[in-house]
Each structure stands twice: as C-alpha cells, then as structure tokens.
Amino acid sequence: MSKLYFKYGAMGSSKTAQALMCKFNYEQKDFKVFLFKPIVDNRLQKDGKALVGSRIGLSSECIEFTKNDNFLSLAKTLNILQERNVIIIDECQFLTKEQVEQLKEISFTIPVLCYGLLTNFKTYLFEGSKRLIEIADSIKEIKSVCSCGRKAIVNARVVDGKIVDDGNEVLIGGDEKYQGMCYQCYIKAKRK
C-alpha cells in the first residue's frame, strides 16, 4: 500500500544509511527506486554525478532537486508513477511545503519515503519537516544518543569548538559542523 513516510532523527542517527538500505531492499524485490537529494547538499559527487552517501561508507547515485522543482512534473518527466516504483528522499527537511504536498499526492500511487532532520540547529522545525509531520501517513523517529547517554534530539552547530545558536539555517556539513545532543547537554554547552 502506498503511503508518505517520514523517518527523522538527530545528526548522526544513521538516517542516510537507513535510506540507502531501504533502497537496496526495494531493489532486491525488483522495484525501481528514484533516490533524490536537495542540490544544496553538494558534499558528494563522483564523475560529475551526484551521490547520496552515509558516514559508514554506503553511497548511491541520485537525482538532485531544487526548491523550485515540482515533483508532480518530475514524476511525469521521469515516468515515475508506474507500478513497482518507489521514491526515496534524503535530507527531506529541505523540501518546501509545496513539494511535500506534491509528494503526498504522488504517494496515492507509489510509496514515498522521506529521511531527514526534524529541527534546525536553533531547535525549530524545518519547513519540509513541519509539513511532513502534518500530512505524512507514517512518522518514525530514528533514535540516537547524546555523549551522556540520553536520547539526542538537538542538532547542535559547532563553530570553533563552541555551540552556537545564530547564523543561517542552512550550513551543509557533518560531524565537523554538527553534533547530536540531548537538550540538557545542549543548554549546558550553550551557556559555556
């Protein structure tokens, strides 16, 4: 049964690894998977092709999208709305509200699985994540832990070894720029 799925977690919770494992599982069952990521995530490329890659070494070619792309148009252009096709979106927090609504409509026909962050480094919902919470058929947290052992829920931005809460919402990076933390450790670190 087709649904719109939202799977979210803090930085370092293996969201991308799980998206890539999900892609592999579908492909093993002879589904065609259309893997997307936002063009703003320009960290991985190979031979001029965009890749989705996880910290544990898994990677796959993907289709990049911009905030101006219409997924209903892309679905027609790429002939996506066929039986045994699936869409997987990595870094779905960067979707616009309208794009989430387009993906919801696509999910009437084929499964759409979205993986990403829930909140930004200021602890506020991303636009795409907010709309996914509002209209996704299935919402699942991918849990990870803070260095203290509590559940990580904050995507703390680290600049020169210090936690910051000001700056642009989008700053692409991994472990060198962000740390998954519990809220208690986040507040303590911010006050230092």
Residue 56 burial (10 A CB sphere; 0-12, 13-18, 19+):
exposed
Task: Say which DSSP state 125 is in.
Answer: B
Give the mean pLDDT per block of 10 residues along the chain (192 residues): 94 93 97 94 70 85 96 96 95 97 98 96 95 98 95 88 72 70 90 80
Element (H, E) at 153: none
Task: Say which DSSP state 111 is in.
Answer: -
Contact 94, 41 (CB under 8 A): yes
**Sign of the C-alpha dihedral, residues 70, 72, 73, 74?**
positive
pLDDT digits (tens, 9 = 90+) for 77-114: 999 999 999 999 999 999 999 999 999 999 999 999 99
User: Looking at residue 114, what is its pLDDT?
Assistant: 98
User: Looking at residue 46, what is its pLDDT?
Assistant: 66
Structure tokens at 124: 């506020």
Domains and CATH numbers, the chain: 4-142 (3.40.50.300)
Please, which residues have CB within 8 angstroms of residue 58's CB and are 6 or more apart in sequence? 16, 17, 20, 21
Pairwise CA distance, residues 29 & 41, whole Å: 29
User: Looking at residue 112, what is its pLDDT?
Assistant: 98
User: Looking at residue 137, what is its pLDDT?
Assistant: 98
**Which three-class secondary structure state does DSSP give residue 15?**
helix
Task: Say which DSSP state 152 is in.
Answer: P
Residue carrying structure tokens 């070494």: 57
Pairwise CA distance, residues 119 & 128, whole Å: 10
User: Looking at residue 162, what is its pLDDT?
Assistant: 79
Q: Which of 91, 101, 105, 141 is catalytic?
A: 91
Structure tokens at 170: 């989008």
Residue 141 falls in the annotated catalytic set: no
Pairwise CA distance, residues 120 & 117, whole Å: 7
User: Looking at residue 130, what is its pLDDT?
Assistant: 98
